[in-house]
């Protein structure tokens, strides 16, 4: 009897999978660029042509025309990935076949293209890339090279169409106004937060960054804002008023009260102050932190707006309160304040926090959960990040700091350059270890019983260290 290899193994053996990945990764990829994207010509018309060639024109925004497939479009400096995952979890629990496009991935590219929580298979990825080859070549001959993100966005929409998704949730890649996802026709939109990140592309003030992210707002599509700065919400509100988009804002049209759960996770009470938002609902989350309670509140508002105005399968959305409760309670996001229990009553936390706002949220969680624990932090980040504020926040909660880099992406910041930026309060307890796994080993060996090991600073660092930490947990 001849043994049958799994499809993924066959693809690996023939090289089809690797060739498909190279077709994508050989494009301009901002996620791997050492320099910024300021010189890259963002041309949405070129991407529109690609979608039309792939018979995906029904996803395109056309003023006055309702989208044929309900689509939730989410931007923000932080929180957009978690919020998108929460929304998709609720929709799946309610019985709708739900596609989720998010970025970046931690381990495998297929993580970016999920249906009902499951990533596309390697075989599906190969087939999707094969469908992209001819139209991509044709368009590039006339209009110049398409980017990695443009191709993965097209790949996601093609996958969701082929798999007959009822509804699609799309996370913005960078900014909003010129992001390739912004050609899509949304049913509802959200801007989760505004902070200083990617300033070399989006601008050097909160107002300029807000204006770029507010570029996703379209008439008459409702927009939900989780931003808390008055000057930022003024920008978002003005754009919504200008185009005629209903505007819902945290702290005005809805609120959320947060309490940490007894062991891990969050409890929250949501209150809506304007129809059609629910007047009150209690939310239990497996995800940790006040910031996740806020993200859950934004997700709940998006669901309320979908229930109020959107059709799927020709009928209004049918999403029960129990589906909202279960979808939020069962939602998990890998690499977001992710916890492992280790031996000697130690624990490890991996967080992809990579800017000042997300590091602040992580530190708030550490103060809440680890106030009486020694904290040893492994930190590495990218060249385009404003590092000093992140290091200052980590110095306030850490007893020891190990600076490192990631190996799989050239955008890393040399950890030796980080050392002079470390606060004097912890500089004598700071060391540089170039290899990230060796850095984790050293950090864990110096974490006393009852202590906490933290890895943060970058999606790329989280990806390279997460498996190793999971193995230490299995040995506990």
**DSSP secondary structure, 259-294, as one string:** EE-SSSSEEEEEEE-STTS-SEEEEEESS-SHHHHH
Hunting for tokens 């019983």 — which residue is that?
449
Average the pLDDT over each of 97-101, 345-349, 439-443, 471-475 and give the range with the smallest value. 471-475
- pTM value is 0.92
H helix count then E strand count, the chain: 17, 19
In this prediction, residue 2 carries a pLDDT of 39
- The whole-number pLDDT of residue 184 equals 96
- The confidence score (pLDDT) of residue 5 equals 45
Average pLDDT over residues 321-350: 95
Please give the share of the chain, as a percent, with pLDDT higher than 90: 78
The percent of residues above 70 in pLDDT, for the chain, comes to: 92
pLDDT in tens, 351-363: 999 899 899 999 9
User: What are the pLDDT digits (tens) for 255-269?
Assistant: 999 999 988 999 999
Indicate the average pLDDT of the chain. 91
Residue 214 has pLDDT above 70, yes or no: yes
- pLDDT value at residue 201: 58
Count how many residues are written for the chain. Answer: 476
C-alpha 325/C-alpha 300 separation (Å) is: 9
In this prediction, residue 87 carries a pLDDT of 98
Is the pLDDT at 196 greater than 50, yes or no? yes
pLDDT at 230: 92
Contact 345, 338 (CB under 8 A): no
The model's confidence at residue 422, banded by pLDDT at 50, 70 and 90, is: very high
């Amino acid at each position: 009897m001849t043994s049958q290899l799994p499809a993924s193994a066959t693809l690996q053996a023939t090289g089809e999978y690797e060739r498909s990945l190279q077709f994508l990764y050989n494009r301009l990829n901002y996620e791997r660029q050492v320099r910024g994207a300021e010189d890259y010509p963002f041309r949405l018309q070129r991407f529109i042509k690609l979608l039309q060639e792939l018979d995906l024109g029904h996803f395109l925004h056309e003023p006055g025309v309702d989208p044929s497939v309900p689509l939730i479009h989410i931007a923000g400096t932080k929180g957009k990935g978690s919020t998108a995952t929460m929304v998709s979890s609720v929709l799946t629990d309610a019985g709708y076949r739900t596609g989720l496009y998010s970025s970046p991935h931690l381990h495998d590219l297929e993580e970016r293209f999920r249906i009902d929580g499951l990533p596309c298979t390697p075989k599906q990825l190969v087939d999707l890339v094969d469908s992209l080859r001819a139209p991509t070549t044709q368009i590039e001959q006339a209009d110049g090279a398409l980017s990695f993100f443009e191709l993965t966005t097209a790949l996601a929409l093609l996958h969701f169409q082929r798999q007959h998704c009822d509804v699609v949730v799309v996370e913005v890649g960078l900014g909003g106004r010129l992001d390739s996802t912004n050609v899509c026709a949304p049913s509802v939109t959200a801007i989760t937060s505004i902070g200083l990140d990617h300033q070399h592309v989006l601008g050097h003030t909160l107002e300029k960054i807000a204006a770029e992210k507010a570029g996703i707002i379209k008439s008459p599509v409702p927009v939900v804002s989780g931003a808390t700065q008055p000057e930022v919400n003024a920008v978002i509100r003005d754009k919504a008023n200008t185009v005629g988009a209903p505007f819902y804002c945290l702290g005005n049209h809805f609120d959320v009260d947060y309490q940490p759960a007894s062991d891990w996770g969050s409890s929250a009470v949501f209150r809506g102050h304007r129809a059609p938002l629910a007047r009150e609902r209690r939310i239990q989350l497996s995800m940790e932190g006040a910031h996740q309670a806020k993200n859950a509140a934004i997700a709940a508002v998006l669901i309320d707006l979908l229930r109020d105005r959107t059709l799927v399968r020709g009928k209004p959305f049918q999403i029960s309160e129990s589906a909202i409760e279960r979808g939020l309670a069962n939602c998990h996001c890998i690499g977001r304040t992710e916890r492992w229990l280790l031996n000697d009553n130690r624990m490890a936390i991996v967080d992809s926090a990579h800017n000042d706002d997300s590091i602040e949220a992580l530190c708030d969680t550490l103060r809440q959960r680890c106030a009486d624990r020694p904290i040893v932090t492994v930190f590495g980040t990218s060249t385009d990040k404003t590092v000093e504020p992140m290091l200052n926040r980590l110095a306030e909660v850490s007893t020891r700091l190990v600076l490192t880099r990631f190996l799989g992406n050239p955008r890393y910041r040399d950890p030796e350059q980080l050392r002079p930026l470390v606060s004097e309060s912890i500089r004598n307890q700071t060391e540089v270890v170039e290899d990230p796994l060796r850095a984790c080993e050293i950090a864990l060996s110096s974490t006393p019983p009852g202590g906490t090991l933290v890895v943060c600073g970058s999606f790329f660092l989280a990806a390279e260290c997460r498996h190793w930490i999971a193995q230490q947990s299995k040995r506990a």
